């Protein structure tokens, strides 16, 4: 089988805008990503991914943020305060469903250690259920591993596939994982950067840059009218931008990212929790002490110039999902529900190349 590679190595380049230097969420200046990957024994296949919006004290210099929920079958900690106040005061952590509590504890500890006057912390933790390959009931993720992911966060290239919170995930019946991508807007449209990172653990009928790959390779939701396994799951989408957006327009940006999931063939099924969080790193919209005291002017990109950012977000999310699939490797684990050995097969890249050639790619 062909070595794992990113979607662009196959000529898959969704959309009209060019990617950034790393084609990753970290192309937004200041954003850092860290992973802890847990592959232990024959049953633990899980991990943690941490996203830091900027290298400063996030609790003191909060970033505006918005949330979009397509289907709320999930355990997104911190969601209501994020929506109410429109800001992030901690990094974002992604992990598995039953590790959310420990991740919250770790984020609170991490934030309190850096802010001796803090008496309330809104830790934001997203999740997907990796129990098809991971013995999720064994509670393999610890507080210290969450702290390690936060401490490991760096800018630059981002590891993809079976890493961090994507270690045990599945997507469209194949091995899923972490994927990332970015888009650069031309100067005439603001010159902004939009980056996306996904924890892909959902299903439907896989489409890759318009090519019906799932149908061609014989794997899709409802093929047998009884197979729900390729649709249920969840997906967490994180979008970063350096555009000076209000929390209201960030919520709009997050909602448009769902178009990127739809283009991949997402079923948005009953058992899938589909969430997107968008934040802005622009210095002019940060909620620092001067802003909270009403002493700072606030930059705000106008509504009628948002459409190019909407397009870029959808494109970046679509490609991030494709990268999660093409970079993932086959993982053998244990189904957390049945206790039986389970295999998450990576999509066959040689077969994928043949499908793409047949469709003129």
**CA atoms within 13 Å, Cβ hemisphere of 208:** 29
Nearest C-alpha neighbor of 36 from the set 126, 130, 162, 155: 162
**Cβ-count burial of 20 within 10 angstroms (0-12 exposed, 13-18 middle, 19+ buried)?**
buried
The DSSP secondary-structure symbol of 22 reads: S
pLDDT at 3: 85
pLDDT at 91: 98
Active site residue 182: no
Active site residue 274: yes
The stretch 54-76 carries a mean pLDDT of 97
CATH topology of domain 14-295+305-358: 3.60.70
Whose structure tokens read 């129990």? Answer: 131
Catalytic residue among 181, 182, 234, 269: 234
Residues 6+ away with beta carbon under 8 Å from 283: none
Compute the Cα dihedral for 14, 267, 134, 223 and give only its sign: negative
What are the helix and strand counts (H, E) for the chain? 8, 14
336 pLDDT band (50/70/90 cuts)? Answer: confident
Q: Torsions phi, psi of 314, nearest 5? A: -60, -40
H-helix or E-strand containing 200?
Answer: strand 193-201
Say if CB 240 and CB 28 are below 8 A apart: yes
Q: Torsions phi, psi of 306, nearest 5? A: -85, -25
pLDDT at 266: 94
Residues 6+ away with beta carbon under 8 Å from 225: none
Q: How many residues does the chain have?
A: 361
Say if CB 242 and CB 57 are below 8 A apart: no
Residue 190 has pLDDT above 70, yes or no: yes
Active site residue 234: yes
271 pLDDT band (50/70/90 cuts)? Answer: confident
- What does the mean pLDDT of the chain come to? 94
**Cβ-count burial of 289 within 10 angstroms (0-12 exposed, 13-18 middle, 19+ buried)?**
exposed
The stretch 202-210 carries a mean pLDDT of 95
The stretch 259-283 carries a mean pLDDT of 95
Residue 337 has pLDDT above 90, yes or no: no
Residues 6+ away with beta carbon under 8 Å from 161: 4, 175, 177, 178, 179, 324, 327, 328, 329
Q: For 237-271, give one letter per residue: b (16+ CB within 10 A) or e.
A: bbbbbbbbbbbebbbbbbbbbbebbbbbbbbbbee
CA gap 197, 80 in Å, rounded: 22
Catalytic residue among 182, 257, 274, 280: 274
229 pLDDT band (50/70/90 cuts)? Answer: very low
Cite the DSSP H helix spans in the chain. 79-85, 100-114, 143-151, 213-216, 247-263, 289-292, 307-327, 349-358
Grouping H, G, I as helix, E, B as strand and the rest as coil, residue 93 is strand
The stretch 61-74 carries a mean pLDDT of 97
Domain ranges of the chain: 14-295+305-358
Residue 43 has pLDDT above 80, yes or no: yes
pLDDT at 290: 80
- Here the tokens at position 175 are 């091995």
219 pLDDT band (50/70/90 cuts)? Answer: confident
**CA atoms within 13 Å, Cβ hemisphere of 352:** 26
pTM > 0.75: yes or no = yes
């Amino acid at each position: 089988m062909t070595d794992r590679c990113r979607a662009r190595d196959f000529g898959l380049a969704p959309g009209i805008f060019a990617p950034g230097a790393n084609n990753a969420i970290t192309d937004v200046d200041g954003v850092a990503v860290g992973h802890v990957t847990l592959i232990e024994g024959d049953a633990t296949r899980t991990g943690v991914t941490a996203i830091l919006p900027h290298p400063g004290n996030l609790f003191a210099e909060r970033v505006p943020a918005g949330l979009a929920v397509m289907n709320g079958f999930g355990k997104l900690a911190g969601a209501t305060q994020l929506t109410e106040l429109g800001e992030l005061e901690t990094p974002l952590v992604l992990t598995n469903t039953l590790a959310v509590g420990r991740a919250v504890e770790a984020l609170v500890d991490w934030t309190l250690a850096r802010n001796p006057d803090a008496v309330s912390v809104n830790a934001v933790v997203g999740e997907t259920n990796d129990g098809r390959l991971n013995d999720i009931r064994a509670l393999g993720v610890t507080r210290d591993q969450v702290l390690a992911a936060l401490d490991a966060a760096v800018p630059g290239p981002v590891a993809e596939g079976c890493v961090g919170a994507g270690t045990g995930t599945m997507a469209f019946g194949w091995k899923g994982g972490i994927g990332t991508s970015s888009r650069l807007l031309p100067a005439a449209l603001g010159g902004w950067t939009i980056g996306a990172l996904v924890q892909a653990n959902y299903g439907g009928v896989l489409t890759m840059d318009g090519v019906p790959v799932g149908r061609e390779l014989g794997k899709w939701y409802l093929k047998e009218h009884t197979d729900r396994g390729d649709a249920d799951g969840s997906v967490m989408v994180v979008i970063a931008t350096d555009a000076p957006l209000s929390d209201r327009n960030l919520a709009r940006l997050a909602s448009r990212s769902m178009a990127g999931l739809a283009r991949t063939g997402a079923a948005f099924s009953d058992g899938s929790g589909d969430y997107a969080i968008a934040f802005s790193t622009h210095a002019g919209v940060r909620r620092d002490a001067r802003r909270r005291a009403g002493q700072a002017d606030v930059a705000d990109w106008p509504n009628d110039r948002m459409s190019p950012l909407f397009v870029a977000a959808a494109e970046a999310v679509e490609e991030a999902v494709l990268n999660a699939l093409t970079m993932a490797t086959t993982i053998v684990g244990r189904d957390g529900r049945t206790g039986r050995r389970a295999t998450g097969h990576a999509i066959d890249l040689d077969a994928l190349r043949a499908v793409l050639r047949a469709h003129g790619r």
